[in-house]
Chain A
Amino acid sequence: MSHPTDGNGSAKFAIGCGAGFASDRLDAAVELVERVALDWLVLECLGERTLAFAHRDRRADPNRGFDPLLERRMRALLPRCRARGTRLLSNMGAANPRVAAEATVGIARALGLSGLRIAVLLGDEVTEKLAPDTPLWEGGTIAERGVPVGANAYLGCEQLLPAIATGAEVILTGRVADPSLFLAPMIERFGWALYDWQKLAAGTLVGHLLECGMQVSGGYFADPGKKDVPDLARCGFPFAEVEAEGAAVIGKTPGSGGRVHATTVKEQLFYEVHDPTAYHTPDVVADFSAVAIEEVGPDRVRVSGARGAPRPPSLKVTVGFDGGYLAEAGVSYAGPNAAARARLARSVLEERMRVVHGYRGPLRIDLVGLRSLHATALPEPAEGEDVRLRAALRAPDREPAELLLWEVEALLTCGPAGGGGYRGRITPQVTTASASLPRAAVTTRIEVLEA
């Protein structure tokens, strides 16, 4: 197949993002692969809590614990990636990468993709390697916080590169730092050294901009009348054309909706970044404070100027814990005097929970339509004519959670006039904390499976 070439005739390197979180769109990923000659397609699907839930799933059933959308994504993308000569890299292995790879072999065989090779990176799970007295970044120790449901180290390019070197068309991983999923293919392509901090920072910048999918290409951006985005319903995924020194042009699927502009790139540049001069990954400490952003064409923005310093000495570990239950329940009031009726419902519910039942735990009651998301920050407006009481609590066991649902539903006949639309649900929770682990404590290996 043909890859885009620059003026000197040397092949450009194109890497795209076809998922920036577990629930990201699939049709747009198909369009990206079909319309852009990508060297690599990366699917980033593994949030911190997603992985903790995956550990639970694996415990319940050893054949689960990987991304539940893996089969649908692979069915749609494997044949197209193979036809286009695009290699696929994803952390959809979650808490069970080996079984995810076996499932992918099965899918490839069913699709007639014989000979497809899948390399799987193992060894990010460190649950058994963490002593109970391991300190947590948030304070205290693991033992003081509880019994972990699972713990994983953020692997980097050093661990991922051997999987890429196998030449396998598909690479599956568990926990790998998100930017590393993009940086490792660049390192392999351009032969950058693992201590070439400037180039690793440049590639990390590209990975950071791509890792949240459409957040750099028009998603999570539209503000009608202020920042308009064309055809948001058909927003395209982004890709980068990377130069040998690490500068890159960010673009998006041709013919798709969305927008790549200096403003979309700026917003994503500091997304979940704290000190702009010290963005820590397993590969490098990157400085984004002097990044240059240049519009070089329609929906094409060139980024350069990241600087690098030596990588952190240890690896970050995320530890998942049981988080008890979250209960949420609501009932709505509309029309004349709705705000007053909703306020009365709130005071009735508070008295029922606190006084009648003696519940002492955390309880939040918002009046959606008056003030909810910003209720802690801003005063509550007096009026509103379509108001939803929304109550929430967290508890280590189910009993208070069930009590809240019962009491909110009882507001229908026992509360103010005209309440309707009761809904309630209880969802098991996980929580996460962070710890550090010496690099030498983490040993990884690669397995290659063939369809």
Chain B
Amino acid sequence: MSRRVPVHAIAHARAGDKGDTSNVCLFVYEPRHYPALLRAVAPERLRAKFPKLLRGPIRLFELPHLHGVNLVMENALEGGVNASLNLDGHGKSWSFLLLGLEAEIED
């Protein structure tokens, strides 16, 4: 039996920036949810969910021994701290943008 929950229910995250590139690392609280996390933040899914924000290549580095991933998203900060007009020019809150996505977990 599977059900949909926010990624926030199964994982925690932190975002950082370098120029116009955002990186968000996410880790599941329970190892059994790792496959669900991988599906929830797959680069093609992120591009489809946030096409206006994520305008460049997205790389996903799997860190299976830490039950986490590191996402590196280029041209994802509206110009970054040098140019963005967003209040959050560093994209510090991109961690919680991704934690707001839905994940499908097995009970």
Contacts and interface: CB of A to CB of B under 8 A. Distances in A.
Interface of A: 49, 138, 220-221, 223, 226-227, 263, 266-276, 289-293, 323, 362-364, 366, 368, 372-378, 390, 392-394, 431-432, 434
Counting contact residues on chain B (CB < 8 A from A), the size range is 35 or more
A263 B8 CA distance: 14
Contacts of A289: 61, 63
Given A267-B13, A290-B65, A374 B82 contact: no
Contacts of B25: 266-267, 269-271, 273
B66 A293 contact: yes
Contact of B14 (A271, A291, A374, A431): A271
Contacts of A364: 85-86
Contact of B70 (A226, A276, A291): A276
A443 to B, nearest CB: 28
Given A289-B63, A377-B97, A394-B83, A227 B12 contact: yes
A275 to B, nearest CB: 7
B86 A274 contact: no
A276 B93 contact: no
Interface string B47-67: 001101100000101010110
Closest 4 CB pairs of A and B: A272-B16, A364-B85, A270-B25, A431-B82
B83 A266 contact: no
A434 B18 CA distance: 11
A232 B38 CA distance: 31
Contacts of B70: 270, 273-274, 276
A268 to B, nearest CB: 7
B27 interface: yes
A68 to B, nearest CB: 20
A377 B55 CA distance: 11
Nearest to B98: A377
Contacts of B93: 373-374
Contacts of A270: 14, 16, 23, 25, 63, 68, 70
